A = this chain, B = another copy of it.
Amino acid sequence: MRKELEDKLHKEIPITKIMGLKLNSYNKDELLTSAPLDININDKGTAFGGSLNTITIISGWSMCWLISKELNIDSNNIVIIKNQTSYLKPVKKNISCYTKKPTKEEISILKEKINKKNSASIKIVSKIIENNQVCVEFEGIYVIKL
């Protein structure tokens, strides 16, 4: 499912392929995504803020897509409506982004809302971590519509 999604992103959202986005692993706790530093570099030789925000945005979106698949609901209408990002430290190597899977309770509330109203929003949080230090904190609100 992870590989299917990676192929889909690369095909349908060309910037994700160009920036070298990879969906590295996915389990019950989190989704790990990455991108190389070289193509995403800035004038200071560290990762470009635009790329850092893009990887968090698409990782949160990917989490919603994966959850939708697991819930057996249509995953064709997922959009971000808001995000908030803090850049705490520069990222000096390849970018590694950890996106937390919402709790079972949050997912069950999401499913209930979608069943009732054909639409629901969910908060997804991500962190970009380097050498055990949080460099970027991201919070995004996504809407899933049937």
Q: Which residues of A contact B (CB under 8 A)?
A: 8-9, 12-16, 18-19, 39-44, 48-51, 53-55, 57-58, 61, 76, 79-87, 90
Rounded to whole angstroms, the CA-CA distance of A21 and B135 in the bound complex is 26
Chain B residues near A82 (CB-CB < 8 A)? 84-87
* Known pairs A8-B43, A43-B8; A15 contacts B50 (CB<8 A): yes
Q: How far is the CB of A6 from chain B (nearest CB, A)?
A: 13
Rounded to whole angstroms, the CA-CA distance of A55 and B48 in the bound complex is 12
Q: Contact: B39 with A14, CB < 8 Å? A: yes
Q: How far is the CB of A32 from chain B (nearest CB, A)?
A: 18
Rounded to whole angstroms, the CA-CA distance of A54 and B14 in the bound complex is 15
Chain B residue with minimal CB distance to A81?
B87
Q: How far is the CB of A131 from chain B (nearest CB, A)?
A: 19
Chain B residue with minimal CB distance to A45?
B12
Chain B residues near A83 (CB-CB < 8 A)? 53, 84-85
Chain B residue with minimal CB distance to A88?
B81
**Given A15-B19, A49-B80, A53-B53, 13 further pairs, Cβ under 8 A:** A12-B41, A13-B41, A13-B42, A13-B50, A15-B50, A43-B76, A49-B79, A50-B54, A50-B55, A50-B58, A53-B54, A53-B57, A53-B83
